[in-house]
Amino acid sequence: MSYDYDVVVIGAGPGGSMAAKTAAENGLDVLLVEKRQEIGTPVRCAEGVSKEALEEFFEVEKSWIAKEVSGAIIYSPDGTQIKLVAGMAGNEVGFVLERKIFDRALARMAAKRGAEVIVKTTATTMRREDSGVVIGLKRLGEYYEVRSKLIIGADGVESRVGKWGGINTTVKIGELESCVQYLMSGIDFDPEYTHFWIGRKYAPGGYVWLFPKGEDVANVGIGVLPTQTKKSAKEWLDKFVRENYPEGEIIEVVAGGVPVTGPIETAVADNLMLVGDAARHADPITGGGIANAIKGGYFAGKVAAEAVKAGDFSKNFLRRYDELWKNDFGKNLHRNKVLQRKFVKMDDDVLNRLARSISDYDLSEISVKKLVMELIKKNPKLLWDLKDLFL
Ligand SMILES: Cc1cc2nc3c(=O)[nH]c(=O)nc-3n(C[C@H](O)[C@H](O)[C@H](O)COP(=O)(O)OP(=O)(O)OC[C@H]3O[C@@H](n4cnc5c(N)ncnc54)[C@H](O)[C@@H]3O)c2cc1C
């Protein structure tokens, strides 16, 4: 078969653009396909990401960042506060992005490195032919096919590419956080922190967040597990907003799902790699997926280049990609899935007790591991079975 491209990337979110950029940088002929007419909109994200996650790969531009924060405050149901410095608070705390700008900037980087980028084009089918793949694309009602050595599925939470390639990416109803978010202005909060409210009182199976985008503007959102509540995410969020920020104006509404399955067994098949939400790489506790999408995209782009060089597009060869993400963030995904299962079962009294047991610690001076070990020591009955995860 003669090929139109070395690699076709489906989806121009952070994962897809990073994969396309990396593959193009490594000399491959790349096509990046996005179904929306504008990359980056509508935003379905609270836009929080750690500084390290961005600085590892990019010279961060001012225009990408709406607000920089120094840490996170977690509120337990009885109002006990735990203050974490940004470095401890995980992959979602540090910068609050303008994803409308950031996602576009990443796609532009891919284009600058030589990737062809097309929007308003949906990938609808895929079949294997000889040693490559034929991908069906629909653009403005017209169907056409392109031939490629590899396909990278970066098509987000509703991914179909994995299924086409025979990878099991099924998300059960109990593993899909249902999220709603308002961009709110005219509200009063401490803009130096991102804020999280946990417990059934606020968000069964999830949490409420407030991510500052300015002094009085923030993304205020919620994720709940539909198996844990009969009320919708919107009903829970409206209650929270009524009780806490009645003075605010809602200037944008966002709804979406976040897969919290934990790591899938493999994100590769013959001719195919999955990255980001399509590979279920979002963090099972926080739901954050930008950092892992970028990293996964980078790994997939690199492995694509190695595969093209070797002329080998088999699942066996592409397992290198599985190794890379598993050895990097795969362990955290696994650990956080175990923690999330436990967290979902905890009632509000337990969460209050846990929060109170560490509320007087100076959390700027202790590592996450030490903090968790302290929590386990102070609450052995509840948490003893978790200790091996942190040793
Ligand atoms: C309400 C909410 C809040 C969130 N907050 C945060 C947060 O604060 N921090 C964080 O790290 N993560 C957050 N997330 C998760 C984060 O948004 C995702 O993990 C991240 O966007 C994953 O990037 P991605 O590139 O894998 O997929 P996406 O960003 O979802 O991009 C996938 C792209 O593929 C395109 N596409 C899909 N199907 C096709 C097709 N067939 N053909 C062509 N194109 C296609 C889509 O249009 C889309 O542009 C949040 C999610 C939600 C829903």
- CATH number assigned to the domain comprising residue 151: 3.50.50.60
Which of 21-35, 291-305, 346-360, 365-379 is the least confident region? 365-379
**Residue 55: inside a domain, yes or no?**
no
Asked whether residue 113 falls in the same domain as residue 160, the answer is yes
**Residues 167-183, mean pLDDT to the nearest whole number:** 93
Residue 27 has pLDDT above 90, yes or no: yes
DSSP of 193-213, one letter per residue? EEEEEESTTT-TTSEEEEEES
Residue 381 has pLDDT above 80, yes or no: no
Q: For 94-133, what is each residue's pLDDT tens digit?
A: 999 999 999 999 999 999 999 999 999 999 999 999 899 9
Whether 219 is covered by a domain: the verdict is yes
For position 374, what pLDDT does the model report? 78
Expressed in angstroms and rounded, the spacing between residue 157 Cα and the centre of ligand 1 is 7
Q: Looking at ligand 1, which atom is closest to the CA of residue 160?
A: 41
Tell me, in angstroms, the distance from the centre of ligand 1 to residue 390's CA.
30
Q: In the structure, what pLDDT confidence band is assigned to residue 200 with cuts at 50, 70 and 90?
A: very high
Q: Which pLDDT value is given to residue 132?
A: 96
The reply to whether 221 and 239 lie within a common domain is yes
Beta strand 30-33 pairing with 5-10: parallel
Q: Are residues 184 and 279 in the same domain?
A: no
| Residue 50 counted as domain residue | no
CATH assignment at residue 255: 3.30.9.10
Asked if residue 57 belongs to a domain, the reply is no
Helix (H) or strand (E) holding 31: strand 30-33
Residue-level pLDDT at 87? 72
Is residue 241 in some structural domain? yes
Task: Return the pLDDT at 198.
Answer: 95
Q: Tell me what pLDDT residue 368 has.
A: 66
Task: Label residue 89 by pLDDT band (50, 70, 90).
Answer: low
Q: Do residues 87 and 164 both lie within one domain?
A: no
- Take atom 38 of ligand 1 and give the residue whose Cα is closest: 155
Residues 37 and 113 in one domain: yes
The predicted model scores a pTM of 0.95
Whether residue 26 is found in the same domain as residue 113: yes
Ligand 1 centroid to Cα of residue 309, in Å, is 30
User: Do 238 and 329 share a domain, yes or no?
Assistant: no
Could you tell me the two tokens for 91?
């992959």
Mutate which of 290, 329, 332 for ligand 1? The one with the most ligand atoms within 8 Å of its CB, which is 290
Q: Which residues, 6+ apart, have CB-to-CB distance to 331 below 8 Å?
A: none
The reply to whether 59 falls in a domain is no
Across 205-236, b (16+ Cβ under 10 Å) vs e yields: bbbbbbbbbeeebbbbbbbbbbeebeeebbeb
Number of domains present in the structure of the chain: 3
Boundary of a domain, candidates 217, 244, 259: 259
> Are 251 and 366 in a shared domain?
no
In this structure, the answer to whether residues 358 and 385 fall within a common structural domain is: yes
The verdict on residue 51 lying in a domain is: no
Instruction: Examine residue 384 and state whether it is found in any structural domain, yes or no.
Output: yes
114/25 same-domain check: yes
Are 219 and 79 part of one and the same domain? yes
Task: Please report which confidence band the pLDDT of residue 377 belongs to, taking 50, 70 and 90 as the band edges.
Answer: confident
Give the other-Cβ count within 10 Å of 98's Cβ. 19
Look at residues 372, 87, 99 and name the one whose alpha carbon lies nearest to residue 256: 99
pLDDT beyond 70 at 380: yes
Residues 163 and 180 in one domain: no
Domain range enclosing 378: 346-390
Ligand 1 first shell, C-beta below 6 A: 10-16, 33-36, 44-49, 92, 122-123, 154-156, 160, 179, 181, 221, 254, 256, 258, 276-278, 282, 287-291, 293
